[in-house]
Structure 1
Amino acid sequence: MNNKDIIVYKERFLLKLMILVVLISVTGSALGQSKNEVSFFLQGSFSKLDYKVLNQKSEMKNGFGFGAGYAYYLSENWSIGTGAELQYIEGSVYIPIIEDAYQTRDQEGENFEFRYQAKDFYENQYAYFLNIPLKIQYETKGITRFYAGAGIKAGLSLKSEYKSRLSSLVTSGYYPQYDVELKGPGFAGFGKFDEIDDSRSEFDINTSFILNLESGIKLMLENKKSLYIGGFLDYGLNNIRSGASSEEKLIRYNSQDPMTFSVSSLLNSGENSNSGSFIDEIRTFVFGLKLRYAFKL
């Protein structure tokens, strides 16, 4: 092998070595870039069970949520994620006057029409959901990044309660067999009664499927950690009303103790004789701020 051949061989060897070093460097760099991100978050929100009843819209109250998430990076900018979160929703409704009438029986077993007028009716709802999200996220590059995400959540109802209150209740009993309307006595459950403030009771709602939108700023920290600060919107896509029984009355007449009235939830009560169903559909609606701490594995 002459000197020229040796020089060509050395050049080829150096070229191959350089290519190998570059490949090892690129491969090592790629392996060093984790594609797995784990996060924990807190969120404060305004929330409600969104519905309309007797021409009144439900009102928003404070809510909150917390949970954990996992994201897999498809590239430096795009990722898909899932996780689990506990979300608390609170809402309320106020109705100045509710009137209704229905057939029932008195203490003597006689059929009659129970009529009532409830004034200043308030109902608060409290619901806990376990949300399982599936979402996609885009983020820019740099130390301070803009991010935006969208996806779908399945919200499993864990617990739902309501509390009702009204300022006064006026009742009477109409006996068609005698063509007479009794507005007293009080011990029979007829007359004017003072404020009724029921304790919390449970009501039923179905699983909620939710459109989730989120955007904000992602701050890159040391050691593959980051902090997300943003806003989010959760909009219920389906009707979560579980259905009402025609036997479930809003103001229940108790033939065993006529002076004691109990109040059902508007969300599960049967039809109102004056206007049909109290509520046709219920959806979840939540928006607020979200703080998320994340790190790559």
Structure 2
Amino acid sequence: MKTIKNSLVLSFIFLGIIFCNAQQISILANAGMQGLSYKINDGNNKLKIGGRIGVGYTYFLNYHLAIITGLELGAYSNKTTLNDAVYTTDEIDTEGELFEFRVKTKGYKEENKFNAISIPLMLQYRTMGDTQFYFNGGGRVFLPFGQKSNININQLQLTGYYADVNAELSDIPNHGFETFDNWKSTSKTKLNTAFALSAETGLSFELNDNIRLYTGIYIDYGVNDMQKKEQIKTDVPLINYNDNGYSDRQLNSILKTNRISESAKLMAYGIQLKLEFGSRYRGKGCGCY
């Protein structure tokens, strides 16, 4: 949280400097598929619909080129499902006996949500005329916060297999072996700051001398892993073994396990609208009007 606060202070200072020299100010809104993209060993993951709003500042370099920055707030989510399977870890019971803790799931679904403040830095190319083609290319920094995982399982069966006697124990609540139907739980996970390559393209239309409407598409492709590796321990079970029962136990999010086979990277794409206000570039020596 301290890192985010420091980053925001620096961002506002930087944006303040840009704002004082900005030739155009814009407001934007977009919507599309945005969240964490990763492959999972024994299931699948899909992005869900999210969106972003923000303000932007444009500084012209010449007729065709401009630098764009701003401050944005977005909502991101993805849904992970696990195959019906048995997940095992080695545990020790209250008698000091080693056994294989088996977690059998049916209908496992997990929705991961988080918000992020993003700061773009992009170079824009635009054509001339009342209707213009534009292309923005560059990157964004994402500062995530408020991550939450909502977990739903149709059936969760916890058993213990003792190899020395070749026996699997079940339905013994006072030993931590139970079966639950329609289990629901929540989990929170800290995420890394994300860095993404960003591109936007489309058409813009002159509404009057000082207002221009931009329509188009966007994509953000994360280049770093947002999953904090220090939170992950080898063979983390979906639910921790507890011989005193599970009435107050919470499931472990997929983000805290080693079941993700690739980096968890930010991914976003969709459609975007932007209104740009302010004077237009007239060329060297003429300033803006």
The reply to whether TM is greater than 0.5 is yes
RMSD: 2.2
TM-score (ref. length: structure 2): 0.81
> Which of 183, 189, 192 in structure 1 is aligned with 2:170?
183
Tell me, yes or no, if structure 1 residue 225 matches structure 2 residue 188. Answer: no
Show the counterpart of 1:134: 121
Take 1:73 and 1:258, find their aligned partners in 2: how far apart are those partners?
61
Could you tell me which amino acid in structure 2 is paired with residue 202 of structure 1? Answer: K
Take 2:42 and 2:128, find their aligned partners in 1: how far apart are those partners?
49
Take 2:83 and 2:61, find their aligned partners in 1: how far apart are those partners?
55
The secondary structure found in structure 2 opposite 1:241 is coil
For residue 229 of structure 1, report the CA deviation from its aligned partner: 1.1
Show the counterpart of 1:124: 111
Q: Structure 2 matches for 1:29-40, cutoff 5 A?
A: 36-40=23-27
For residue 258 of structure 1, report the CA deviation from its aligned partner: 4.3
Indicate the percent of aligned positions where both proteins have the same amino acid: 28
Show the counterpart of 1:280: 262
Show the counterpart of 1:53: 40
Show the counterpart of 1:95: 82
Tell me, yes or no, if structure 1 residue 115 matches structure 2 residue 102. Answer: yes
Answer yes or no: is the 8 Å Cα contact 2:87–2:237 preserved in 1: no
TM-score (ref. length: structure 1): 0.79
The secondary structure found in structure 2 opposite 1:249 is coil
For residue 262 of structure 1, report the CA deviation from its aligned partner: 2.4
Q: Deviations over 1:47-100 (max 9, x none)?
A: 231111124331121101001111111111110111111111111011231322
For residue 281 of structure 1, report the CA deviation from its aligned partner: 1.2
Q: Deviations over 1:223-252 (max 9, x none)?
A: 422111111111111222211123743222
Take 2:214 and 2:85, find their aligned partners in 1: how far apart are those partners?
47
Answer yes or no: is the 8 Å Cα contact 2:25–2:55 preserved in 1: yes
Tell me, yes or no, if structure 1 residue 257 matches structure 2 residue 207. Answer: no
Answer yes or no: is the 8 Å Cα contact 2:174–2:243 preserved in 1: no
The secondary structure found in structure 1 opposite 2:208 is coil
Could you tell me which amino acid in structure 1 is paired with residue 152 of structure 2? Answer: R
Q: 1:97 to 1:233 in 2, by over 3 A?
A: same
For residue 107 of structure 1, report the CA deviation from its aligned partner: 5.2
Take 2:164 and 2:251, find their aligned partners in 1: how far apart are those partners?
28
Could you tell me which amino acid in structure 1 is paired with residue 129 of structure 2? Answer: G
Take 1:98 and 1:214, find their aligned partners in 2: how far apart are those partners?
42
Take 2:226 and 2:249, find their aligned partners in 1: how far apart are those partners?
28
Take 1:175 and 1:258, find their aligned partners in 2: how far apart are those partners?
21
Q: 1:197 to 1:35 in 2, by over 3 A?
A: closer
Take 2:226 and 2:206, find their aligned partners in 1: how far apart are those partners?
39
Structure 2 residue runs without a partner (length 5+): 1-20, 280-289
Answer yes or no: is the 8 Å Cα contact 2:173–2:244 preserved in 1: no
Answer yes or no: is the 8 Å Cα contact 2:159–2:170 preserved in 1: yes
Could you tell me which amino acid in structure 2 is paired with residue 214 of structure 1? Answer: E
Aligned residues: 257
For residue 159 of structure 1, report the CA deviation from its aligned partner: 2.2
User: Max radius of gyration: which structure?
Assistant: 1
Answer yes or no: is the 8 Å Cα contact 1:171–1:183 preserved in 2: yes
For residue 176 of structure 1, report the CA deviation from its aligned partner: 4.9
Tell me, yes or no, if structure 1 residue 213 matches structure 2 residue 199. Answer: yes
Q: Structure 2 matches for 1:40-79, cutoff 5 A?
A: 40-79=27-66
Take 1:232 and 1:106, find their aligned partners in 2: how far apart are those partners?
53
Could you tell me which amino acid in structure 1 is paired with residue 199 of structure 2? Answer: L
Could you tell me which amino acid in structure 2 is paired with residue 267 of structure 1? Answer: L
Show the counterpart of 1:6: none
Answer yes or no: is the 8 Å Cα contact 2:44–2:82 preserved in 1: no
For residue 201 of structure 1, report the CA deviation from its aligned partner: 2.3
Show the counterpart of 2:256: 268
Tell me whether 252-261 or 122-131 shows the greater mean CA deviation: 252-261
The secondary structure found in structure 2 opposite 1:194 is strand
Q: 1:261 to 1:107 in 2, by over 3 A?
A: farther
Take 1:102 and 1:257, find their aligned partners in 2: how far apart are those partners?
18
Show the counterpart of 1:29: none
The secondary structure found in structure 2 opposite 1:220 is strand
